[in-house]
Chain A
Amino acid sequence: MGSVLETTMMLLILSDMALLGLSRLRTCIAVASFQGMLLGVFTLLAHEQALTPRIFLIAAVSFILKGFVFPQLLRRSIREASAQNEMDPYVGYSMSVMAGMAMFGAALWLGEQLPLTLAAGMHLVIPAALTTVLTGLFLIIARKNALSQCLGFIILENGIYAIGIVSVVEISVLVEIGILLDAAVAVVVMGVAIFHINRQFDHLDTDQLDSLKG
Chain B
Amino acid sequence: MYYESALWLSLLIPFVLGFACNILPSARTALGAMCCCVFGTAIAGCIAIVAVFQHGTIFIASNWLFLDGLSAYHYGILLVVFCLSSVYAWAYFGEELRKGHFTRKQARLFAGLWCEACAAMTLVLFSNNLGIMWVGIEATTLITAFLICIHVSRQSMEAMWKYIVICSVGMAFAFMGTLLIAVSAKALELGPHDSLLWTVLYDNAGRLDPKLIKAAFIFLLVGYGTKAGLAPMHNWLPDAHMQAPSPVSAIFSGFLLSTAMYCIMRYMPVIEGATGSIGWCQRLMTGFGLFSIAVAAVFIVSQKNLKRFLAYSSIEHIGIISLGLGLGGLGVFAALFHTLNHSLCKTLSFFAAGRMGQILGTYDIRDMKGALRRSPVWGTGLFLSILALIGAAPFSLFMSEFLILKAAIDKQAFVIAFVFLLGLGIVFICALGYILPLSWGGPPLKKAAPAHLFQYESFLVYIPLTALLILGLWMPAPLQAVLQKAAEIIGGAAAYAPAIGLMP
Q: How far is the CB of A205 from chain B (nearest CB, A)?
A: 11
Report yes or no: A115 in contact with B182, Cβ–Cβ below 8 A: no
Among the stretches A83-91, A92-100, A168-176, the one at the interface with B is A168-176
Taking a contact as CB atoms closer than 8 A, the residue among B142, B161, B195, B243 that contacts A171 in the complex is B195
Report yes or no: A179 in contact with B145, Cβ–Cβ below 8 A: no
Report yes or no: A170 in contact with B135, Cβ–Cβ below 8 A: no
Cα distance A171–B154 in the bound complex, in angstroms: 42
- Tell me which residues across on chain A come within 8 A of B365, comparing CB atoms: none
Taking a contact as CB atoms closer than 8 A, the residue among A117, A153, A168, A197 that contacts B172 in the complex is A153
A178-B132, A193-B164, A206-B161 given as contacts; is B186 within 8 A of A117 (CB)?
A: yes
Cα distance A180–B110 in the bound complex, in angstroms: 26
Report yes or no: B192 in contact with A173, Cβ–Cβ below 8 A: yes
| B211-240 interface code vs A (CB 8 A; 1 in, 0 out) | 110010000000000000000000000110
Segment 135-158 of B: residues with Cβ below 8 Å from A: 135, 138-139, 141-142, 145-146, 149, 152-155, 157-158
- Tell me which residues across on chain B come within 8 A of A193, comparing CB atoms: 145, 157, 160-161, 164
Is B478 at the interface (CB under 8 A from chain A)? no
Report yes or no: A160 in contact with B176, Cβ–Cβ below 8 A: yes
Residue contacts A-B, CB under 8 angstroms, 10 given: A140-B169, A171-B195, A182-B135, A182-B142, A185-B142, A186-B168, A197-B161, A206-B161, A209-B157, A214-B304
A116-B183, A153-B172, A171-B196 given as contacts; is B131 within 8 A of A179 (CB)?
A: yes
Is A82 at the interface (CB under 8 A from chain B)? no
Please list the residues of chain B having a beta carbon within 8 angstroms of any beta carbon in chain A: 129, 131-132, 134-135, 138-139, 141-142, 145-146, 149, 152-155, 157-162, 164-165, 168-169, 172, 175-176, 179-180, 182-183, 186, 190-193, 195-196, 209, 211-212, 215, 238-239, 242-243, 299, 302-304, 308
Report yes or no: B168 in contact with A211, Cβ–Cβ below 8 A: no
Say what secondary structure dominates the interface of chain B.
helix
Q: How far is the CB of B212 from chain A (nearest CB, A)?
A: 6
**Can you list the 3 inter-chain pairs with the closest CB atoms, starting with the nearest?**
A175-B131, A170-B195, A209-B158
Q: How far is the CB of B309 from chain A (nearest CB, A)?
A: 11
Please list the residues of chain A having a beta carbon within 8 angstroms of any beta carbon in chain B: 54, 114-117, 133, 136-137, 140, 146, 149, 153, 156-157, 160, 163-164, 167-173, 175, 178-179, 182, 185-186, 189-190, 193, 196-197, 200-201, 206, 209-212, 214
Report yes or no: B152 in contact with A200, Cβ–Cβ below 8 A: yes
Cα distance A210–B162 in the bound complex, in angstroms: 10
Report yes or no: B169 in contact with A189, Cβ–Cβ below 8 A: no
- Tell me which residues across on chain A come within 8 A of B304, comparing CB atoms: 214
Report yes or no: A163 in contact with B176, Cβ–Cβ below 8 A: yes
Cα distance A185–B161 in the bound complex, in angstroms: 15
Cα distance A193–B272 in the bound complex, in angstroms: 40
Report yes or no: B243 in contact with A212, Cβ–Cβ below 8 A: yes
Say what secondary structure dominates the interface of chain A.
helix
Q: How far is the CB of A214 from chain B (nearest CB, A)?
A: 6
Report yes or no: A115 in contact with B209, Cβ–Cβ below 8 A: yes
Report yes or no: A189 in contact with B164, Cβ–Cβ below 8 A: yes
A171-B195, A182-B138, A186-B142 given as contacts; is B168 within 8 A of A153 (CB)?
A: yes
- Tell me which residues across on chain A come within 8 A of B169, comparing CB atoms: 137, 140, 153, 156
Report yes or no: B161 in contact with A209, Cβ–Cβ below 8 A: yes
Report yes or no: B168 in contact with A196, Cβ–Cβ below 8 A: no
- Tell me which residues across on chain B come within 8 A of A137, comparing CB atoms: 169
Q: How far is the CB of A136 from chain B (nearest CB, A)?
A: 8
Cα distance A179–B212 in the bound complex, in angstroms: 22
A193-B161, A209-B161, A212-B239 given as contacts; is B211 within 8 A of A171 (CB)?
A: no
Cα distance A169–B179 in the bound complex, in angstroms: 10
Report yes or no: B138 in contact with A167, Cβ–Cβ below 8 A: no
Cα distance A26–B110 in the bound complex, in angstroms: 35
Q: What is the chain B residue whose CB lies nearest that of A160?
A: B176
Report yes or no: B190 in contact with A214, Cβ–Cβ below 8 A: no
A117-B186, A163-B176, A212-B159 given as contacts; is B191 within 8 A of A171 (CB)?
A: no
- Tell me which residues across on chain B come within 8 A of A179, comparing CB atoms: 131, 134-135, 175
Taking a contact as CB atoms closer than 8 A, the residue among B154, B180, B196 that contacts A211 in the complex is B154
Q: What is the chain B residue whose CB lies nearest that of A153?
A: B168
Report yes or no: B191 in contact with A196, Cβ–Cβ below 8 A: no
Q: How far is the CB of B180 from chain A (nearest CB, A)?
A: 8
Cα distance A175–B127 in the bound complex, in angstroms: 12
Report yes or no: A140 in contact with B135, Cβ–Cβ below 8 A: no
Among B135, B142, B183, B193, find the residue whose CB has the most chain A CB atoms closer than 10 A. Answer: B183
Q: How far is the CB of B45 from chain A (nearest CB, A)?
A: 23
Cα distance A189–B146 in the bound complex, in angstroms: 9
- Tell me which residues across on chain A come within 8 A of B180, comparing CB atoms: 167
Q: What is the chain B residue whose CB lies nearest that of A197?
A: B157
Among A115, A146, A157, A171, find the residue whose CB has the most chain B CB atoms closer than 10 A. Answer: A171
Q: How far is the CB of A168 from chain B (nearest CB, A)?
A: 5
Report yes or no: A201 in contact with B154, Cβ–Cβ below 8 A: yes
